Chains A and B, each alone.
Chain A
């Protein structure tokens, strides 16, 4: 494995054209996130947090600037290559869960596997893996439930199990606790902490200082620019992913 940073962003801008008006959502961001790091992103509403996350998650294209994921230049890739990256190298956890509403927890978790062309496992094996992933987030007894039959915290745990099923390098979480009560939020944070402790790189957007305190450092955005980078006093321990 190369020693390149997990995420390396330079001069990243995103301009939305709304009618005649140009909205500068990101005004030139430089950012470097090491492997195994847990980074929180904070900032007022409209400061560009989600825009940044979507670009890091390969869901959206930057207007300008470069983005290297794990050493690979992503800004020049086509739609198919980006889909493959979303599938295998990134696990995205959304504030609004984004689960398929008519599909069971188990099948929601399996979703990234069926879109992985390298996954040649038989269906039984995949079911077993998805079940294990749900067990790991404490939902072993809720596999057949559809999202409407689950609490918000449980839904978010299904979403995390789904984000992890293809063993991504990076987990991105855009306000993962934003729709949850304190208790459920703490459960989610415990899972993220554990993932990070096992070496997974995590980037998380939050509005709450206590949540951000779980990260190694917090990046403060304002009006599409990095306002400050604040270390949280937690040191990044070397926990190589190979050990997983």
Chain B
């Protein structure tokens, strides 16, 4: 029997019971769609993270507080403090710059414009180069501001627009704005940067970190925390010296904190470390998705097998008639295998369509980034086909083994 005829016969077999065929395919449709959507979501998340990490800054080293040993009313013991950053810059020659951040939020007012819950980021002069963001006009916070706890502010691009209207309406530089309880003088406006790691960098106010410590953090909290910071960002002079810098920083901090490297109260990581951690996480996520997809496809396959077994029983007489006019075991087996394969492939096709549509809907409504990789469609399709052959084989074989005369007698 020609392949085209086998396929035609199988196709007609499916068409005679469209609703049942559709219901049978449902498992495969859902499985394949799930595979594609989940892979699209995970690929989208991964792409976003990669972009964000790359936009953090070049040759960046993260020094994080690993733990804070605190006793109420006492300055904290352990963890990073602001002075650690200055000590690192003073004694590790390969560090080109550093940035420390301490943030809070406040209401910002200028004229009759008032904006609530604006991020106020206390930081240090190297921030623009370390975190890879440019100053558009005026200047950034400098060392003098820091030493004098000068009440100056540098505005994010979109915040400047909101406070002072579109470009040219009024020059923000030199203006005095109210941030929380303090009046700050605007000395600069940043270039647009967008969202980094979930934070809108264009809608915040920068000020010297000493101003935040002195004026914005509640005094009790401030006393308790000392000048503690969660993260010190260091910029290595070049990619080649990163490893050496990390080692020196670790040794220095261990000595300053009086701890051994094994029991350090800080961690030192590069962007690459963070990317690797992230990749390990997405990898684990992907493995989980793989299991979910595998299970749903197997359930879909069992659905196909179930229906094919019922179909073989129901169509015993048809099988007998075909055998009576000369169909061989192989002809019958191929016919039912082709039916199972078609069920799974058509299910795979519908599932792929549903998956692509679903990924789009997720991106649209779920405010999520999704990337549909052609490979994921191929993978889903291929597994659907395998499932069809695997779960179709038993029923097909059962049909092929039927005895012609018994099949013809079947009511």
Chain B residue contacts of A68, Cβ below 8 A: none
B262 to chain A, nearest CB (A): 75
B184 to chain A, nearest CB (A): 83
Asked whether A15 is an interface residue with its Cβ less than 8 Å from the other chain, the reply is: no
Interface residues on B, range: 20 to 34
Asked whether A150 is an interface residue with its Cβ less than 8 Å from the other chain, the reply is: no
Kindly supply a per-residue 1/0 record for chain B positions 15-27, scoring 1 wherever the CB is within 8 Å of any chain A CB and 0 otherwise: 0100000000000
Asked whether A3 is an interface residue with its Cβ less than 8 Å from the other chain, the reply is: no
Q: Which of A54, A57, A83 has the most CB of B within 10 A?
A: A83
Asked whether A24 is an interface residue with its Cβ less than 8 Å from the other chain, the reply is: no
Contact A59 B405 (CB under 8 A): yes
Q: Which of A86, A94, A115 has the most CB of B within 10 A?
A: A115
Contact A83 B405 (CB under 8 A): no
In the bound assembly, the distance between CA atoms of A116 and B327 in angstroms comes to 8
Q: Which of B64-72, B293-301, B316-324 contacts A (4 or more CB under 8 A)?
A: B316-324
Chain A residue contacts of B326, Cβ below 8 A: 83-84, 86-88, 112, 115-116, 166
Asked whether A228 is an interface residue with its Cβ less than 8 Å from the other chain, the reply is: no
Query: Considering the complex, which residues of chain A in the window 63-89 have a beta carbon less than 8 Å from any beta carbon of chain B?
Result: 79-80, 83-84, 86-88
In the bound assembly, the distance between CA atoms of A96 and B165 in angstroms comes to 90
Chain B contact residues, majority secondary structure = helix
Query: Considering the complex, which residues of chain A in the window 106-158 have a beta carbon less than 8 Å from any beta carbon of chain B?
Result: 111-112, 114-117
Contact A80 B405 (CB under 8 A): no
With A100-B318, A102-B16 as known contacts, state yes or no: A115 contacts B325, CB within 8 Å: yes
Asked whether B148 is an interface residue with its Cβ less than 8 Å from the other chain, the reply is: no
Asked whether B2 is an interface residue with its Cβ less than 8 Å from the other chain, the reply is: yes
> Nearest A residue to B15 by beta-carbon distance?
A102
Contact A60 B325 (CB under 8 A): no
Chain A residue contacts of B327, Cβ below 8 A: 83, 87, 115
Chain B residue contacts of A117, Cβ below 8 A: 1
Residues of B within 8 A of A (CB): 1-2, 5, 9, 12, 16, 317-318, 320-331, 404-405, 408
Residues of A within 8 A of B (CB): 54, 57, 59-60, 79-80, 83-84, 86-88, 92, 94, 98-100, 102-103, 111-112, 114-117, 162, 166
